[in-house]
Amino acid sequence: MNRVLVLNGPNLRRLGTREPDVYGAASFDDLVALCRDAARHLDLHAEVRQTDDEAEMVRWVHQAADERLPIIINPAAFTHYSYALRDALAQRTAPLIEVHISNPAAREEFRHTSVVAGVATGTIAGFGLMSYVLALQAVAELIAEKKV
* Spatial separation of the C-alpha atoms in residues 105 and 102, rounded to whole Å: 9
User: Mean pLDDT score of the chain, rounded to an integer?
Assistant: 92
pLDDT > 70? residue 106: no
* Segment 5-34, tens digit of pLDDT: 999 999 999 988 877 776 677 899 999 999
Q: Give the catalytic positions in this structure.
A: 23, 100
- How confident is the model over 129-145, as a mean pLDDT? 97
Asked if residues 136 and 126 have their Cβ atoms less than 8 Å apart, the reply is: no
Q: Distance (Å, rounded) from C-alpha 109 to C-alpha 28? A: 26
**Local confidence band at 45 (pLDDT 50, 70, 90 cut-offs):** very high
Supply the pLDDT for residue 90: 98
- 13/28 Cα distance (integer angstroms): 5
Give me the percent of the chain exceeding a pLDDT of 90.
Answer: 77
